[in-house]
Copies of this chain bind each other. A is one copy, B any other.
């Protein structure tokens, strides 16, 4: 069985679903799941279709024609293809362990060929999971490394360096950062310390796509945990790790399953 994932964004109008699904039906494709969303305010229509066929041709041309008629943007993805994903980190190990463990148990459909860091602490994890570790002094050679490894998705797993604008542009909506704070509160450095000093009763973590604005790109996933006066900064950092890795994993998983559509700095995430 050949599988395909279709994403379409277009102005809202009558008959989109009927026309799309008729093309699939007539070409003998079976719909496994369909999810749509209408943004009433902006009159925008979003759809994701997961379809499969048994040996037949996939109607790419008909879909492209329909998309043009609807003044839409069409994206087609092959869910069975594993893309190459680079992990960039500094010293924090837990979110990286989690990605590699989930990958080992086939919960993440990708390859993790490299861990990149400007420190050396993470080389032991790379060794444990038998993947390459690349130490970089600065971001100068970063782009070259990403190209050599044919990287399609970059994960910033507590990477403490600013990504060059050139890379942000090239990897638009393909760089996921985990910020250890509940955005938009506590942007920037040491968010747990900020939260502790403010005396909040809940801390959070946020996974988002990276834009050139610090900690401000489209939010993909967030989670929180209750704290109280008994929790020291050290405690908060430990508790926070649980939600950081969980939020990062969820965001990466949604991305790899092509469940995310980004529009106007917000995400639509089909599940």
Instruction: Mark A residues whose CB is within 8 Å of B.
Output: 14-15, 17-19, 21-22, 24-26, 28, 30-38, 40, 93-94, 97, 101, 104-105, 107, 128-129, 182-186, 198-202, 204, 218-224, 228-230, 232, 238, 242, 246, 265-269, 271
Contacts and interface: CB of A to CB of B under 8 A. Distances in A.
Contacts of A267: 199, 229
A14 to B, nearest CB: 5
Nearest to A249: B242
B25 A18 contact: yes
A200 B229 contact: no
Contacts of A268: 229
B198 A219 contact: yes
A230 B18 CA distance: 21
Among the interface residues A183, A201, A221, which one has the most CB atoms of the partner chain B within 10 A? Answer: A201
Nearest to A268: B229
Nearest to A242: B246
A199 B219 contact: yes
18 contacts: A17-B21, A17-B31, A19-B25, A21-B22, A34-B34, A94-B101, A107-B238, A128-B128, A183-B185, A184-B200, A185-B185, A198-B219, A199-B267, A200-B222, A201-B222, A228-B269, A229-B266, A229-B268
A107 B238 CA distance: 8
A125 to B, nearest CB: 9
Contact of A94 (B93, B105, B199): B105
A28 B18 CA distance: 11
The 10 lowest CB-CB distance pairs between A and B, nearest first, are A199-B266, A185-B185, A18-B25, A18-B21, A15-B25, A201-B222, A128-B128, A229-B268, A17-B21, A18-B22
Contacts of A185: 182-185
A221 B201 contact: yes
B199 A218 contact: yes
A232 B40 contact: yes
A101 B93 contact: yes
Contacts of A183: 185, 200
Given A18-B24, A199-B267, 6 more contacts: A14-B25, A34-B34, A185-B185, A200-B219, A202-B223, A229-B267
A181 to B, nearest CB: 10
B36 A34 contact: yes
A202 B229 contact: no
Contacts of A219: 198-201
Contacts of A31: 17
